[in-house]
Amino acid sequence: MIGLVATASYLPERRLTAAEIGEASGIPEAVIVEKFGLRGKHIAAPDEHVSDMSVTAASQLLAEQELDPAEIDVVLYYGSMWKDYPVWQAAPWIAHRLGCTSAYALEYANVSCGTPVALRLARNFLLGEPELRNVLLVAACRESYLIDYSNERSRFMFNFGDGAVAGLLTRDAGHELCGAHAITDGSFSLQVKVPAGGSVEPASAESVAARRHYLDVADPAQMKGGLDEVSLPNFVAAARGALESCGASQSDIAYLCNIHMKRSMHEAIVGELGSPRATYLDDTGHMSGVDPLLALDRISRAGELEEGDLVLLLAAGTGYTWAATVISW
């Protein structure tokens, strides 16, 4: 049995309020709060990068568990792909700074579907290599710096904030990771991206001047039209697939830990899943792969879970992949 024995999280000190987001974007504050479902979000300091935030969250976890970093077998980074440097792995640097001298550093740099998929990969890694005992998962997001509030095409991403999480997945432990499922529809793959800086459009003075190094949406109307048809069904299908893989059904869900999204979609998902208790991160916004594990960290620390509760961690990431994992608390 592979269990998630501990979690920790970190949020930067600086906050951007809904009023400030409204002022920067020209969207009324009431719309930011009510439709976007965002009261505010945290913003990393200019010299605070995903490796720094990951180290802070992981250090808290190790200290709380009184665990020697040298006992960690694998350090797996699964946070935002926008890291300290391009074409660079954060995991080895994070492992080094933590003192995980015996660990193999593994990188799963992904987008918003990160948590469920990373948990699934880490569980399978432990199952496939019996000599390993644990995996330290770390993720961070700094994508608030990739937002251009003057670009209306990217307005659905105005909720992007910054933060980090850590989790410890261990062999023969409680809080079993008992099910997982995912669905991918690659037809949306080119819709959301930073247009310049890759091999298709290398960075240049012209690309910088044209502000092509921020997140953008190629065709918002086409994307919305396509996603409106499939997004809710795919969220539900990913959730039900994960539940079925561990012999459960949606009536067994004790708590839903979802990514942050507009309030109407969140409420629709909760309703389709039978209205379980659910977190809603309206004080942090969306933080790439961080959200579901942050939500779990919060409810577990608040004492809202009892032994045997099934927790559904649900996410979707541009690409597009919908993913879910189930933990039996």
pLDDT tens track for 274-325: 999 999 999 999 999 999 999 999 999 999 999 999 999 999 999 899 999 9
- For residues 182 and 169, state if they share a domain: no
pTM for the full model? 0.96
Name residues whose C-beta falls within 8 Å of residue 325's C-beta, 6 or more positions apart in sequence: 115, 116, 119, 120, 177, 179, 180, 242, 312, 313
Q: Which of 157, 174, 191 is the last residue of a domain?
A: 174
- For residues 64 and 160, state if they share a domain: yes
- For residues 229 and 257, state if they share a domain: yes
Give the range of the structural domain holding residue 75, as residue numbers without chain letter. Answer: 2-174
Give the number of other Cβ atoms within 10 Å of residue 70's Cβ: 11
Is residue 203 within 8 A of residue 236, CB to CB? The reply is no
Is residue 285 within 8 A of residue 41, CB to CB? The reply is yes
- For residues 223 and 311, state if they share a domain: yes
Whether residue 109 is predicted with pLDDT greater than 80 in this model: the reply is no
Q: Which of 159, 174, 189 is the last residue of a domain?
A: 174
- For residues 191 and 46, state if they share a domain: no
- For residues 224 and 311, state if they share a domain: yes
Whether residue 196 is predicted with pLDDT greater than 90 in this model: the reply is yes
- For residues 290 and 229, state if they share a domain: yes
User: Which CATH number do you get for residue 243?
Assistant: 3.40.47.10
- For residues 109 and 255, state if they share a domain: no
- For residues 155 and 212, state if they share a domain: no
CA angle in degrees (0–180, nearest 5) for 268-147-182 = 40
Smallest CA-to-CA distance from 258 within 270, 247, 242 is with 270
- Number of folded domains in the chain? 2
- For residues 194 and 230, state if they share a domain: yes
- For residues 162 and 273, state if they share a domain: no
Report pLDDT digits (tens) over 169-190.
999 999 999 999 999 999 999 9
Q: Which of 120, 142, 174 is the last residue of a domain?
A: 174
- For residues 26 and 169, state if they share a domain: yes
Report pLDDT digits (tens) over 143-153.
999 999 999 99
